[in-house]
Structure 1
Amino acid sequence: MPKAIKLTDVEIAKARTLIWEYYGAHGRAFSWRQTSDPYHIFVSEVMLQQTQTATVEKKYGPFIEKFPSFAALAEAPFAEILPLWRGLGYNRRALALHKSAQIVATQYGGLLPDKPELLDKLPGIGPATAASICAFAFNKPTVFIETNIRTVFITLFGGSRTEIADKELMPFIEAALDRENPRHWYYALMDYGVMLKKELPNPSRRSKHYTRQSQFEGSERQIRGMILKAATIKGTFSFEDLCSCIDREPERIRRNLEELCSEGFLRRINDQFSL
């Protein structure tokens, strides 16, 4: 049985100093870090789920400019939202973001709740994202883990171990948390984790939760993206229209088209489809 990770207060204090010093010299400047607007931060956190920061940087500004508030996003037709989301991938997040904006606008008067247990109930927002939004939007000392934070604690305190579970790391993340400034502490942790990933050979493999991302080319996810791209260009279209412009098996196109309708991405009237 692997030896449990144990840390002293001195070790945690040294790590905190190391990370703060690195952040002071090399902290990354993203536009969503220059604001405490809960709506802006909510949008950025949803965009950053499974998408690289360099890609989000390009999409975040135009999205906020087009939809500057929960109310503006809630009132917009999804057909206007999807084109601005294109390139971020995982289009379910765009639909969930739209639904979340509608809930915040109608149930909370356009003001984002500052409690993780309420945020967790919004579409597409799990416990970790709910906690991160509270930290970044409201500077609350919530405790959460994501890929870069995981890398920091595995690298600094995991020794030579592999198969390290997140539940082992969470107490140390909580112990190391700067409760006076959690927002910037988590920025610092993430930036240090990004550096470690550049310096070390794939430290994420030492996590018990490590999985390889499935290949996009030829996947069902790619076909879904092709259908939604065609929808934004064509407006209204038939199944036959899709088959003429998407070079994939008709049965796979039909299956994904039906799923997109059932999930609320597309509407169907007789044999015509639209966003």
Structure 2
Amino acid sequence: MAGASPGEQEEVLSSHEVMEFRENVYRFYRVHRRDLPWRNTKDAYSILVSEVMLQQTQVERVLERYPRFIARFPDFSTLAGAPFPEVLGEWQGLGYNRRAIFLHRIARLVRDEYSGCLPDDEGTLMSFPGIGEATAASLLAFVFNRPSIVVETNIRRVFIHFFFEGQSGVKDPEIRPFVAATCDRENPREWYYALMDLGSALKKQIPNPNRRSAHYRKQAPFEGSDRMVRGKILGILVRDGAVRESDLPWMLGIDRQRAEAILSTLEKEGFFKREGELAVLL
């Protein structure tokens, strides 16, 4: 895996502190475990879909779309063979639509180069489109039940709350040794589920510890943003298959320069091709 494994980190906690922390986390988990559909399977494809969907998207929204997506595209082969407009159409409502492109490309890579099996090497996973260090580490834990160092928003919240009291500007490299030291190497899958559930609960009970993270960024309002316009353009393309570029400003109520800039970005990202004056969904 990228970086040091849980067994290769410097000692930041005593064995007693580690055991006490684990006991507290598991005690909470036994009572408050969230029953999420992607936790009730060990299927690599289903877990991959959930992990990509959960990037920058709240669990509640993913719960609405995940069952439909899995029903429509139940495995790597089906997703890889599906026309991209169908994939994007099923993705609508989740936002950050580039993830649909990434997931479609990953499915084709797994089908064509890995005999339909998700590789269990973190470096290989990180070479896939849209898969960074955090998602690759999560896949190792949740698909293969392999020890890894997972730092995502809920886990970050837990460690800042318990081990960085009163500190601000906490960086992930400072957190990683604590994540490594406390990882339950016998069952990292359940351990990280437990941490995530505790982190989700903490957000509702106390001032968000993640605001003390050096990586914390408050998301800009969605209404009127380029993200909203991108979504509307893609919605039109999914519905109609193509759109005349000159029609977008009046359809969306924005000026021509802004429409052209957003359309140009979508083209570079691989969503559509130009045919004369038309933008045609790939």
Please indicate the TM-score interval, normalised by the length of the shorter structure: over 0.9
**AA at the equivalent of 1:166:** D
Pairing 1:169–2:160 present: no
Once structures 1 and 2 are overlaid, which stretch shifts more, 122-131 or 238-247? 238-247
Contact in 2 for aligned 1:131/1:142 (Cα 8 Å):
yes
Instruction: Give, in whole Å, the separation in 1 of the partners of 2:160 and 2:242.
Output: 50
Q: Which residue of 2 aligns with 1:110?
A: 116
Instruction: Give, in whole Å, the separation in 2 of the partners of 1:191 and 1:134.
Output: 19
Give how far 1:6 is off: 4.9
> Tell me, what secondary structure is at the counterpart of 2:215?
coil
Contact in 2 for aligned 1:143/1:170 (Cα 8 Å):
yes
Q: Percentage identity across aligned positions? A: 48
Pairing 1:160–2:179 present: no
Q: Which residue of 2 aligns with 1:245?
A: 251
> Tell me, what secondary structure is at the counterpart of 1:274?
strand
Give how far 1:16 is off: 0.4
Contact in 1 for aligned 2:226/2:262 (Cα 8 Å):
yes
Once structures 1 and 2 are overlaid, which stretch shifts more, 70-79 or 211-220? 211-220
Alignment gaps of 5+ in structure 2: 1-10
Instruction: Give, in whole Å, the separation in 2 of the partners of 1:24 and 1:133.
Output: 23
Contact in 1 for aligned 2:13/2:181 (Cα 8 Å):
no
Q: 1:177-227, CA deviations, whole angstroms, 9 ceiling, x for partnerless residues?
A: 111111010000000111111111121111121111122222222211111
Give how far 1:232 is off: 1.0
> Tell me, what secondary structure is at the counterpart of 2:127?
coil
> Tell me, what secondary structure is at the counterpart of 2:274?
strand
Counterparts of 1:8-47 in structure 2, within 5 Å, are: 8-47=14-53
Equivalent of residue 220 in structure 1, options 216, 220, 226: 226
Tell me the matched-pair count.
Answer: 271
Q: Which residue of 2 aligns with 1:129?
A: 135
Give how far 1:32 is off: 0.3
Contact in 1 for aligned 2:157/2:208 (Cα 8 Å):
no
Counterparts of 1:231-270 in structure 2, within 5 Å, are: 231-270=237-276
Instruction: Give, in whole Å, the separation in 1 of the partners of 2:263 and 2:82.
Output: 23
Instruction: Give, in whole Å, the separation in 2 of the partners of 1:41 and 1:14.
Output: 30
Contact in 1 for aligned 2:158/2:198 (Cα 8 Å):
yes
Contact in 2 for aligned 1:38/1:112 (Cα 8 Å):
yes
RMSD of Structure 2 on Structure 1 (CA): 1.3
Contact in 2 for aligned 1:230/1:242 (Cα 8 Å):
no
> Tell me, what secondary structure is at the counterpart of 1:109?
coil
Instruction: Give, in whole Å, the separation in 2 of the partners of 1:198 and 1:87.
Output: 25
Equivalent of residue 92 in structure 1, options 74, 87, 98: 98
Alignment gaps of 5+ in structure 1: none
Q: Which residue of 2 aligns with 1:208?
A: 214
